[in-house]
Amino acid sequence: MNTLITNGKIYVEKGLFHEAMLIQDGIIVQTGSNSDFESASYENHIDLGGKTVIPGLNDSHLHLSYVGTTMRSCKLNQARSIEEIIEIGKNHLEANPGTAALYGRGWNQDYFVTGEKRMINRHDLDQISTDIPIVFVRVCGHMATGNSKAIEMLGVDETTTVEGGVIQLGEDGQPDGIFCESATALLDTVIPEKTDLDIEKDFLTAADYAISMGLTSVQSCDIQNVDAQRIFKVIRNIYADNKTRLRFSHQFNFQDISGLEDYINTELNSDGYDEKFLSRGALKLFIDGSLGARTAFMLSDYHDEPGTRGVSVLSQEQLDDILSLASQHNIRVVTHAIGDGAVEMLINAYEQQMNGGENTLRHGIVHCQITSTQQLERIAALKIPVLYQPIFLDYDIQIVEDRVGEHLASTSYAFNTLYQLGTPVSFGTDSPVEDLNPWENLYCAVTRQRLDGTPEGGFCPDEKMDISDAIDCYTTGSAYNEFREDFKGRLMPGYAADLAVLDRDIFEIDPAQIKDVRVDMTMINGEVVYTRQ
Ligand SMILES: [Zn+2]
């Protein structure tokens, strides 16, 4: 089937736009001006009325089915009082009759403005329901509250102890529902395990949301050690039944040799991957934690907590072993490294793997937040792809100088420096850690500001990216990670017809407006898969 698109401002490459393009069986066959197509034959015609079109965006690291899980759970981030939390819970149950267990996330007593400003406890949650278990996790993830039903199901009482955690007691000497640190994992067990159907529903809900935001591809880590075979199969079935058109490349997390060996012996040779809509992607590893919690692994002490350098969860030797097994099987690896200590370990490990040669498997660094100039130069010289999340700046701008000092902060989150050095840079959101909204993400890359517009002039303004460069990172840059930069991420002949039509000209608007861009239409493989109502 042929589709002709005319009257657009179609982004081809930096500084170059075309008006029209012809698509045949999902592939762009010709681009040019309207008049070039006067004698073209086609079945469909889309007149864009002057609108701006960019290649479909490709999130280089997120967790798609968990985005869906988060979407169906109770969102508590906006709650400004205990009463409001109770209200949100009640409304959620009313809107979803038959809910067997209620899970919510994001409350923060520091944000309460009316009523009592304290942690929520079992008695608060009992006002929502005493018939089903309820677990509401605090925004930090290190504390959660259960209702009386949850506590009854767990069978814990004032004598229960958990190593590395606390089950808090109330004034009556009984558990008050507040669980801290490792004890929070106990509370998770009262939430029924997801069925295959739950996983599928979550996946498809999130896929629809992604498409409505102009994403046409995602590189997603839905496999996290446990239950790998089952989740692989659910996702294969979704694509076998053509239930979504969102292009999906797996990232799969196994932290040890045996998990990876299982994968090599099973999924690596399984059918069901057409490499067009569904493909096997990278092994995902993680080395350290987060900057917020001071668990990112640093080369020197935290500026705001001397004596602490964070943690590395893999030793250099473990990292080398798993990398070499992956490389032997031509499996690409992407590794979570946030502190400069973790980044250093990773550069060393990748360099050793390359053995004086090139990074042919395109092993990459996810996050890569805290970096020195010398590390940036090594990353560029070794051509190590970097998978950045510009939206992390929205929170991290407030803490980075406290955590690592002004000097190291000034060479961190160095999107533009690495891009200008020729490093393959791609963008993602790590959703559900952040929303998968790509427009807020692009806004942060271009303005280096928080969503509220601070700080004026932007954080380390030399790192502000040009909007065309930022879009390239999100499209062809992400495709590079999948070895698909010749097929996806450009609107040129021979490329997939994956695109987003925008409600405004993102190349001309005030950068402050980039976060407000809306998608009018999304196309994948030449098919319109979303139209804004
Ligand atoms: Zn992640």
Assign 106 a pLDDT band (cuts: 50, 70, 90). Answer: confident
Question: Looking at residue 181, what is its pLDDT?
Answer: 81
Question: Looking at residue 195, what is its pLDDT?
Answer: 92
Question: Looking at residue 292, what is its pLDDT?
Answer: 83
CA of 430 to the centre of ligand 1 (A): 5
Question: Looking at residue 182, what is its pLDDT?
Answer: 81
CA of 59 to the centre of ligand 1 (A): 11
CA of 63 to the centre of ligand 1 (A): 6
Question: Looking at residue 260, what is its pLDDT?
Answer: 95
Percent share of the chain, pLDDT over 90: 88
Give the per-residue SS3 of 290-323.
Answer: CCCCCCCCCCCCECCECCCCCCCCCCHHHHHHHH
Buried b (16+ CB within 10 A) or exposed e, 399-423: ebbebbeeebbbbbbbbbbbbeeeb
Q: In this predicted model, what pLDDT tens digit does every residue of 290-327 receive, in sequence order?
A: 888 888 999 999 999 999 999 898 999 999 999 999 99
The rounded mean pLDDT for the chain is 95
Average pLDDT over residues 245-256: 95
CA of 291 to the centre of ligand 1 (A): 14
Q: In this predicted model, what pLDDT tens digit does every residue of 56-67 receive, in sequence order?
A: 999 999 999 999
- Least reliable range by pLDDT among 55-69, 186-200, 500-514: 186-200
CA of 55 to the centre of ligand 1 (A): 24
- Least reliable range by pLDDT among 61-65, 193-197, 276-280: 193-197
Average pLDDT over residues 232-240: 98
Average pLDDT over residues 214-239: 94
- The interaxial angle of helices 316-328 and 340-354, nearest 10 deg, is 40
Assign 1 a pLDDT band (cuts: 50, 70, 90). Answer: confident
Residues 6 or more apart in contact with residue 405 via CB below 8 angstroms: 303
Query: What is the Cα–Cα distance from 151 to 165, expressed in whole angstroms?
Result: 16
Greater pLDDT, 477 or 295? 477
CA of 503 to the centre of ligand 1 (A): 30
Distance of CA 525 to the CA centre of its chain: 23
Evaluate if residue 282 carries a pLDDT over 80.
yes
CA of 289 to the centre of ligand 1 (A): 11
Query: What is the Cα–Cα distance from 240 to 59, expressed in whole angstroms?
Result: 22
What secondary structure does DSSP assign to 272-294, as a single string? ---SSSEEEEEEEEE----TTTT
Backbone angles phi, psi at 342, to 5 degrees: -70, -40
415-418 long-range contacts (CB < 8 A, ≥24 apart) are 415/388, 415/390, 415/445, 415/463, 415/465, 415/473, 416/462, 416/463, 416/464, 416/465, 416/469, 417/376, 417/462, 417/463, 418/376, 418/379, 418/380, 418/386
CA of 28 to the centre of ligand 1 (A): 33
- Least reliable range by pLDDT among 87-91, 139-143, 324-328, 369-373: 139-143
Assign 410 a pLDDT band (cuts: 50, 70, 90). Answer: very high
CA of 203 to the centre of ligand 1 (A): 16
CA of 392 to the centre of ligand 1 (A): 12
Evaluate if residue 96 carries a pLDDT over 90.
no
Distance of CA 531 to the CA centre of its chain: 24
Question: Looking at residue 290, what is its pLDDT?
Answer: 87
Question: Looking at residue 363, what is its pLDDT?
Answer: 98
Buried b (16+ CB within 10 A) or exposed e, 41-67: eeeeebebeebbbbbbbbbbbbbbbbb
Assign 382 a pLDDT band (cuts: 50, 70, 90). Answer: very high
Question: Looking at residue 227, what is its pLDDT?
Answer: 87
Question: Looking at residue 513, what is its pLDDT?
Answer: 98
Evaluate if residue 164 carries a pLDDT over 90.
no
Percent share of the chain, pLDDT over 70: 100
Evaluate if residue 16 carries a pLDDT over 90.
yes
Question: Looking at residue 479, what is its pLDDT?
Answer: 98
Buried b (16+ CB within 10 A) or exposed e, 432-468: bbbebbbbbbbbbbbbbbbeeeeeeebbbeebbbebb
Other beta carbons within 10 angstroms of residue 172's beta carbon come to: 8
Average pLDDT over residues 496-515: 98
Question: Looking at residue 380, what is its pLDDT?
Answer: 98
CA of 131 to the centre of ligand 1 (A): 34
CA of 62 to the centre of ligand 1 (A): 6
CA of 401 to the centre of ligand 1 (A): 23
Q: In this predicted model, what pLDDT tens digit does every residue of 416-461 receive, in sequence order?
A: 999 999 999 999 999 988 999 999 999 999 999 999 999 999 999 9
CA of 335 to the centre of ligand 1 (A): 10
Assign 142 a pLDDT band (cuts: 50, 70, 90). Answer: confident
